[in-house]
Amino acid sequence: MGTLDGKVAIITGAARGQGATEARLFVAEGARVMLTDVLPQGDAVAKALGDLAAFAKQDVGSAADWERIVKSTTQRFGRLDILVNNAAIYRMRSLLDTTDEELDEITRVNQRGPLLGMRTVAPAMRAGGGGSIINISSGAGLRGVRNMIAYSTTKWAVRGMTKCAALELAPYRIRVNSVHPGIIETPMLEENPAALNQAMVRATPIGRIGQPEDIARMVLYLASDAAGFITGAEFSVDGGGAV
């Protein structure tokens, strides 16, 4: 018996990195998964997972795309139980160097995307008797960080909207929690200078870089019935960086 037997999930940003790892783990635990991304590589990830997975291209900042994804997921798999709002973009920019265009782009994906996702999946989850929404925030959504003000702003917003949505959706047995990764070995780190990444690893008490599997295992727990009494909470998966 898998931890997620019988459950259906949407995972955004699932073409690579954390999202792809989450999708593989969910399928291994018995879930049927709709992978979405703007990157077409997600199709190959889904095909490798077999009949329990499918891929659809999605702009998470588009309300119409969200309606299409939820409809196609429920039509294909019959229900919807889990949403993982994983899609995000990152730019290393200071306050004074952040352009209006960069701010709008990051906000559209990282902040508008999760809000639209929660709003769109809630009716389907309510019809099915409940569900679990996991919003991927960041350690930068827990504390101030230099030179990533737009990214950090959106990740603080994800943390806040998680708590608001948890209160509003609890009567429908829909749980909403946030996960706050530290430095994780994904393509997103390519935006940083190598010296910065090395310094971040040295500052991590556990003394290593995190792996996508570290995040996926926490997401799996929150998606499962084992976390049935947890909502509105935030979970740091950062090797002790928030201590």
Give me the residue label for tokens 């018996």. 1
Q: What are phi and psi of 179, to 5 degrees?
A: -115, 135
Note whether 15 and 39 are within 8 A (CB).
Answer: yes
Contacts of 135 (CB under 8 A, 6+ apart): 85, 114, 118, 158, 161, 162, 176, 177, 178, 179
Is 151 part of the annotated catalytic residue set?
A: yes
* C-alpha distances out from residue 142 to 62, 73, 159, 178, 188, Å: 27, 33, 8, 11, 19
Q: Which of 90, 151, 172, 221 is catalytic?
A: 151
Note whether 18 and 87 are within 8 A (CB).
Answer: no
Enumerate the active-site residues. 151
